[in-house]
Structure 1
Amino acid sequence: MGTEGYLCGVDNLLNNPVFTALATRDAALGTGTNEVKRFDEAVSPFIGIREGCTDGFAQLHRELPPGRAILHATTGRMATPEGWRLQVEVPGLQFVFRGAAHSDPPGAAPLPLLPEHVPQMMALAALTKPGPFGPRTIEFGHYYGIFDGARLVAMTGQRLHLPGYSEVSAVCTHPDHLGKGYAAALLQQQLRIICAAGETPFLHVRADNARAIALYERLGFAVRGPMNFYFLKRI
């Protein structure tokens, strides 16, 4: 799919999902102006810049202290803005669910994750690297996990919430438990929750994560277009 087709899609709220989420359903988890918004650092490093705003990074540079890390998502490629150091650039893809949620319960039994599970959730995310995960990321809601005894071995939850859309996020499984269907079970749980609310699920994935992409496509997700991620640190 070319960029033109991507930008002209009917679900164009997803072109700038972080800013849209912070301006609408996730506003309570962040702060900002009409042009530049950011999540609380303990929730997520994501920042959002309104389409057409040309000095968003300059505004953030004035607001944030040296060393503060941020994460910017954009459909295109971008040069490193003045006053910032590029840490990592991650080419990614945005997927939107185009199938039907499974009505049957999954083989594994996902359990709700609570604040007491946050240390294990952060450790699992640090090991498997599905994306940034902080001490308050759980506040995005709807986190479920699968345990081996008392040990959390797989989880997923939600992140960005836009009008009519909810993002599935933090899909991860401990390497010792791959191939057991845990990710599929957790994803099906999220699909049921989101679709039951009358919303459309979407998600983001590294463009080179072939294993995850194959699973998402098998469950009914389709590529909508590119979404590239820039981890930056304020100089």
Structure 2
Amino acid sequence: MEDVLNNPVWYALNTHNAKLAYGFDNAKYFNTDVSPFIGLRDNDIDHFDQLYPVLNEGRICLLASTVLLDIPAKWTTIAFVPGVQMVHNNIKIPALDFHPLKPLSESNCADMLALTQLTNPGPFGNNTIQFGHYEGIFDDGNLVAMAGQRMHVPGYAEISAVCTHPDFTSKGYARQLLISQINRIILTGETPFLHCRSDNKRAIQLYNSLGFSERSAMHFYILKK
């Protein structure tokens, strides 16, 4: 079952996140307001070519791969981001209750967008909340930290959008939110996983302390049609 983690976007688009998917048998994608990710059954020229005609001109796409790729020339590679994929040891962690966690809904989207634009935890759009299970911490009515889930594949659920306002770091907010997400996923009988920039040593250290270990490299290609 762990093979699904070699191509998590593709498997998410074809399984638990299929209601958010568009495309064909070998190439699928999310609406841009949900996520820029595209997923290919195999990262080869034929499958790139199947996806290209159906995307709007100028669309920005995000492709994740455990191996380095040769991107077809018709695509413009805007950026390449080296990352790591980390998987949890599936051991529950005693919950922290220092700060009340509140479920986030569509009514919080403006605040969620503002926080992610400030902290840049990864792509986040107007309807990214549809992935579900977002929680936040508020201070004086303002959203100052949050986390949620994204790619959901058989046996695994990805923790995503972990971020804290710069004025509220070092208060344990990210740790508390991560523990909540970890325990939520384990209770469903699934295993938490996540992705992180390989140069984000502080985040990797936090994830290690909570039971995550590196499984593989994950290369992110930001592409433009």
TM-score, normalising length: structure 2: 0.96
The answer to whether the 8 Å contact 1:22/1:30 transfers is yes
Q: Partner amino acid for 1:156?
A: A
For the Cα contact (< 8 Å) 2:86–2:194, is it kept in 1? yes
What SS does the aligned partner of 1:91 have? Answer: strand
Moved over 4 A (4+): none
Structure 1 stretches lacking a partner, 5+ long: 1-9
SS in 2 for 1:227: strand
Instruction: Give, in angstroms, the shift of residue 161 of structure 1.
Output: 0.3
Check conservation: 1:35, 1:53, Cα contact below 8 A.
no
User: Structure 2: which amino acid aligns with 1:14?
Assistant: L
How do 1:208-223 residues align onto structure 2 when only pairs under 5 Å count?
208-223=199-214
Q: Does 1:79 align with 2:43?
A: no
Give the superposition deviation at 1:105.
3.8
**Structure 2 residue 176 is the aligned partner of structure 1 residue 189:** no
| 2:177 alignment partner, SS class | helix
Alpha-carbon distance in 2 for matches of 1:26, 1:99: 22
**Which position in structure 2 is the counterpart of 1:7?**
none
> What residue in structure 2 maps to residue 231 of structure 1?
222
| Residue of structure 2 aligned with 1:63, choices 42, 49, 54 | 54
Deviation at 1:74, TM superposition (A): 0.2
Report the aligned-residue RMSD: 1.2
Do structure 1's residue 98 and structure 2's residue 89 form an aligned pair?
yes
Residue 53 of structure 1: how far off its partner (Å): 4.7
2:125 aligned with 1:138: no
Residue identity over aligned pairs, in percent, reads: 49
The alpha carbon displacement at 1:80 in A equals 3.0
CA distance in 1, matches of 2:178, 2:154: 21
* Pairs within 5 Å for 1:6-21: 11-21=2-12
The CA deviation string for residues 175-229 of structure 1, in whole angstroms up to 9 with x for no partner, is 1111000000000010111000000000000000011000000000000010010
| Structure 2 portions without partners, runs of 5+ | none
